[in-house]
Structure 1
Amino acid sequence: MTSRATDPRNLARMTGILTARPVPARSKAFDLLLAGGMCMVLGLLGIAQEGFAGVLGFGMLVPLVWRRTHPELVFFGVSAVATLQWLVGARLMPANVGLLVALYTISVYGAVRYSRIALGVGGLGVLMATSRYWSNSDWRQQVTMMVALGALVFGVWAFGERRRTSRLYVAQLEERAAQLERDRDREAKLAVSNERTRIAREIHDVVAHGLSIMIVQADGGLYAADQSPEQAKKALATIGDTGRASLTEMRKMLGLLKQDEQLDLDPNQPRPQPGVSSLPELIDNVRDTGLTVDYQVTGEPRDLPALLGLTAYRIVQEGLTNTLKHAGPGARTSVRLDFGREMLTVAVTDDGRGGGVAPTSDPGHGLVGMRQRASISGGTVSAGPKAGGGYEVIAKLPYHLPTGGQQ
C-alpha cells in the first residue's frame, strides 16, 4: 500500500512546492563562493595539467553558481561539457568533480523524473570514462574502476535523494502545521460567530420578556388608574423595575458583543447567567403582572451544568413570555420541573386562548431559539396547542450529552 510520503502524486506536488520556493540569499552566496573557490583551485589545476583543454574544466565549474535555481540546466550543461571533454580526448581533470556536485544538486532540488534521468546519464558516463581512460588496462582493473565509479555516482545520487526526502518531510510538516493553524483560526472565528449568535439570542429573550411584562403592567395600570390608584402605582413601579433590570442585563450582553477580539470562548469559564435557582424570582415577577402561575418541582433536584441550567431558565422565560402575549386575561399557567434519572423535563402550560394561535403567525424567533438551545444541550423541545384548550411547551434536557453527540 502506498504511503502518503511515497505517493508519486504527493511527491510531485511537494517537490513542486519546494522548487517554487525562493532561494535564500545566503544559499546563493554560498554557491557563488563554492563555484569561485573550485574554479580557483580545480580549474587552475586543470589548465596546468591539460593546457588549453583545461579550459573545459571551467565549463564544469562556473555553472554551479546557478545549481539551486536551475538544477536541471546546470546538470545537463555540465554533462555536455564533460561529453565534449571525452570527445576531444582530454584526460580526467580535478574539475570533473563538478559533475558529481551537479548530480547531487539535481537529485536534491530537481524534478523527480529528471533526477532519474540524471542517474542514467551518470551511469552512461561511467561506461564512457571506463572505455576511454582505462581501455588499455587489464579487464580486472577495468571492472574495478567501473564498479568504483558506479558506486561513487550512485552514492552521490542516493545521498541527494535522501536529502530530498528529508526536505519533503520537513515541507510536509510545515504544510501540516500551517493547515492546523488555518483550521484553528477558522474554528476561532466560528466560535466567535456562535458566541455572538448566543448573545443575540440572550438579548432577544431579555428584551421580549421584559417588554411583555411592561406592556401587561401598563395596560393594567391604565385600567386601574381611576378606580385603584394604589394598583396603578404598583404597576408603574413594576414597569420601572422591570425596565431597569432588562436594560442592565441587555447592556451586559451588548458589552460582550463589543469585545470582538476579546470574547471569552472558554466553556469552563463561569458566567453570571441565571439558572434553575433563579426561576422562583422570575415567576414572582410574572405573578406581579396578575398572571396566575403554579410552580412545581418533582423528583430529586440536582446541581446542573451552567449551560443546562441557563437553557431551562430561558425556556421557562420564553414560555411565560408567550403566555403573557397570547393566553389572554384570566389564564392560568403551570411551570413544572421534573428531575428524572436521565434528564430534566421542563413543562410550561396554560389554559388560555393561545392554543388557537398558529405558531407560525408569530414572526418572532422564540420557539426557534428554544429548540436551538435545547439541541445544544442534546435535548428536544415540543410546542403546540393542548387537547381541550391552551398551549404547552415541553423540553426534555438530558443531564449529559450522549456519547459521540454534539459538543
Structure 2
Amino acid sequence: MTGTMSGILAPRRQIPASSKAFDLLLAGGLTVILGLLGLAQEEFGGLVGFGMLVPLVWRRSHPELVFFTVSGVAVLQWLAGAQLQPGNVGLLIALYAISVYGEVRFSRIALGIGGLGVLMATARYWSSSDWRQQITMMVALGALVFGVWAFGERRRTRGLYVAQLEERAIQAERDRDRESKLAVSNERTRIAREIHDVVAHGLSIMIVQADGGLYAADASPEQAKKALATIGDTGRASLTEMRKMLGLLKQDTQPELDPDQPRPQPGISSLPELVENVRQAGLTVDYEVTGTSRDLPALLGLTTYRIVQEGLTNTLKHAGPGAHTSVHLDFGREMLTVVVTDDGRGGGVAPSHDPGHGLVGMRQRASISGGTVNAGPKAGGGYEVIAKLPYNLPAGGVSQ
C-alpha cells in the first residue's frame, strides 16, 4: 500500500518549463471559462467544475493523483445529484493524461473507472423509458471514454519508441567512443612494442661494437675507429626511428588508425640493410632468399622483419664470439618460411611474460598474421628459429 501511494504521489519525470507553462494556461483558461459557466448554471455544480479543472495543472507530473482526485470529485457530484457541468470535461483530460504519462497499471485501472463512470452517468443523467435511447447514449459515452484512453496509449507507445531510439543512439555513440579509445590504446601498445624492438636491437649492436672496440683499441686503432663509427651510426638510426614512434605517442588524435597498416613499417626490403648492420657489428651473417618473391601485405612484411631482427639480436646476445648466422627466406606457394640459425654456444631466446620480448613476442607477432614460430637449440649446438607465415589470413580468423 505504501509503495502504491508513493508511486501516485512521486513525480515521474522532469517537466520542461514550456510544458509547465502550457498546463498552467490550459488549466487556468478552462477553470475561468468553464468554471464560471458552471457557477452561473448552478452554484454547487460550479464548485464541482473548479474541483475537476484546477488539478489539471499537475497532470504531467502527478497524472495518477490528478485522475483519482478528479474522479473523486465526479463521484461527489453524482452522489449529490448535481447536474452535469462544462467542467466535467476535466475527467476526459485527466484520463488522457494518466494514459500518456502514468504507469501502465494505473492507466488500466483508470480505464475501468471510466467504464464504471459511463454506467453511473447513464443510469443517473440519461435514464429513459426508451431502453434503445439509453443503450445508444451508453455506447456513445463508452466510445468517447475508450477513444480518449486509446489515443493516450498510442501517444505513450510512440513516446517510448522514440525514447528507445534516442537511448540506442546514445549507446551507439558511447560504443563508438569506447572503440575509438581502445583503438588508440592498442596502437600505442603496438608502438611501445616497436620501440622495445628498435632499442633492444640497436643496443645489442652497440654493446658488441663497444666490446670489440675496447679490445682492439691498442692493437688495431683503425678497427676501434670503425667500431666507434658503427656505434654512432646505429645509435643515430635507432634514435631517429624511436623519435618518430614517440611522436606518434604524443599525438592527442590519430585520424587514421588502421591495425593492418602499422607505422613505421619496415618490411622484406629492409632486411638486407638490417643484415648489413649486424655484419658491421662483427657477426658473420649469410642472407639467402629462395622461391619466387612476391609483394607482401604491410603487416606480414613487418612481422617478418621483426622476427629476423629478434633472431639476430638474440644471436648477438647469446651466441658468443665467432658465431656464424644464417637468415633464409623461402617463398613457398602458400606461405613464407623464415629460418634464422646460428652455430654458437647459444643460450637461445629466453621466454618472457611481457608481450613483444623474446620468443613470446615472436609468437605473438606471427599469430596476428595466422602463422607460427618454433625455436630451440639445434642438435650439435647452436640455435634455430623457424617461422611459417601464410600469405593470406585464414577465413576463420587467428586462433589464440
Q: What TM-score does the superposition give when structure 2 sets the normalisation length?
A: 0.92
* d(CA) in 2 for partners of 1:221, 1:98: 101
Residue pair 1:359, 1:384 contacting (<8 A) in 2 also:
no
1:52 aligns with one of 40, 44, 49: 44
* d(CA) in 1 for partners of 2:106, 2:293: 74
Structure 2 equivalent of residue 273 of structure 1: 265
Residue pair 2:12, 2:61 contacting (<8 A) in 1 also:
no
Residue pair 1:273, 1:310 contacting (<8 A) in 2 also:
yes
What does residue range 353-364 of structure 1 map to in structure 2 within 5 Å? Answer: 353-354=345-346, 356-357=347-348, 359-360=350-351
2:196 aligns with one of 201, 204, 207: 204
Describe the superposition over 1:348-379 as per-residue Cα deviations: whole angstroms up to 9, x where unpaired: 1111111x557248988232222222222222
Are 2:93 and 1:101 aligned? yes
Are 2:186 and 1:219 aligned? no
Q: Secondary structure at the match of 2:226?
A: helix
Q: Relative to structure 1, is the Cα distance of residues 163 and 98 closer, same or farther in structure 2, using a 3 angstrom cutoff? A: same
2:161 aligns with one of 169, 172, 197: 169
Structure 2 equivalent of residue 41 of structure 1: 33
Structure 2 equivalent of residue 238 of structure 1: 230
Q: Relative to structure 1, is the Cα distance of residues 223 and 308 closer, same or farther in structure 2, using a 3 angstrom cutoff? A: same
Q: Kindly state the Cα deviation for residue 35 of structure 1 after the two structures are TM-superposed.
A: 0.6
Aligned partner of 1:322: which letter? N
Structure 2 equivalent of residue 16 of structure 1: none
Structure 2 equivalent of residue 295 of structure 1: 287
Aligned partner of 1:244: which letter? R
Q: Kindly state the Cα deviation for residue 44 of structure 1 after the two structures are TM-superposed.
A: 1.4
Are 2:150 and 1:190 aligned? no
* d(CA) in 1 for partners of 2:228, 2:202: 14
1:181 aligns with one of 173, 182, 193: 173
* d(CA) in 2 for partners of 1:228, 1:104: 102
What does residue range 250-261 of structure 1 map to in structure 2 within 5 Å? Answer: 250-261=242-253
Q: Kindly state the Cα deviation for residue 207 of structure 1 after the two structures are TM-superposed.
A: 0.3
* d(CA) in 2 for partners of 1:270, 1:326: 30
Q: Relative to structure 1, is the Cα distance of residues 362 and 94 closer, same or farther in structure 2, using a 3 angstrom cutoff? A: closer
Residue pair 1:192, 1:263 contacting (<8 A) in 2 also:
no
* d(CA) in 1 for partners of 2:209, 2:171: 57
1:348 aligns with one of 340, 354, 372: 340
Aligned partner of 1:66: which letter? W
Q: Secondary structure at the match of 1:197?
A: helix
Residue pair 2:315, 2:342 contacting (<8 A) in 1 also:
yes
Structure 2 equivalent of residue 5 of structure 1: none
Are 2:44 and 1:89 aligned? no
- Specify every segment of 5 or more residues in structure 1 that has no aligned partner in the other structure, as ranges: 1-18
Are 2:131 and 1:149 aligned? no
Aligned partner of 1:54: which letter? G
RMSD: 2.0
Q: Relative to structure 1, is the Cα distance of residues 312 and 270 closer, same or farther in structure 2, using a 3 angstrom cutoff? A: closer
Residue pair 2:44, 2:82 contacting (<8 A) in 1 also:
no
Q: Relative to structure 1, is the Cα distance of residues 93 and 53 closer, same or farther in structure 2, using a 3 angstrom cutoff? A: closer
Q: Secondary structure at the match of 1:382?
A: strand
Describe the superposition over 1:290-336 as per-residue Cα deviations: whole angstroms up to 9, x where unpaired: 21111111222111111111111111111110010001111111111
Q: Secondary structure at the match of 2:42?
A: helix
Q: Relative to structure 1, is the Cα distance of residues 76 and 117 closer, same or farther in structure 2, using a 3 angstrom cutoff? A: same
1:318 aligns with one of 291, 303, 310: 310
Q: Secondary structure at the match of 1:359?
A: coil
Greater shift, 367-376 or 171-180, is seen at 367-376
Greater shift, 261-270 or 329-338, is seen at 261-270
Q: Relative to structure 1, is the Cα distance of residues 296 and 358 closer, same or farther in structure 2, using a 3 angstrom cutoff? A: closer
Structure 2 equivalent of residue 79 of structure 1: 71
Structure 2 equivalent of residue 327 of structure 1: 319
Q: What TM-score does the superposition give when structure 1 sets the normalisation length?
A: 0.91
Are 2:102 and 1:116 aligned? no
2:387 aligns with one of 371, 395, 398: 395
Residue pair 1:334, 1:348 contacting (<8 A) in 2 also:
yes
Structure 2 equivalent of residue 405 of structure 1: 397
Counting aligned pairs with the same residue, the percent is 84
Describe the superposition over 1:43-98 as per-residue Cα deviations: whole angstroms up to 9, x where unpaired: 11211222232111111111111011001101111111111111111111111111
* d(CA) in 1 for partners of 2:14, 2:328: 69
Are 2:20 and 1:28 aligned? yes
2:277 aligns with one of 276, 279, 285: 285
- Specify every segment of 5 or more residues in structure 2 that has no aligned partner in the other structure, as ranges: 1-10
Structure 2 equivalent of residue 384 of structure 1: 376
* d(CA) in 2 for partners of 1:361, 1:187: 29
Structure 1 equivalent of residue 4 of structure 2: none
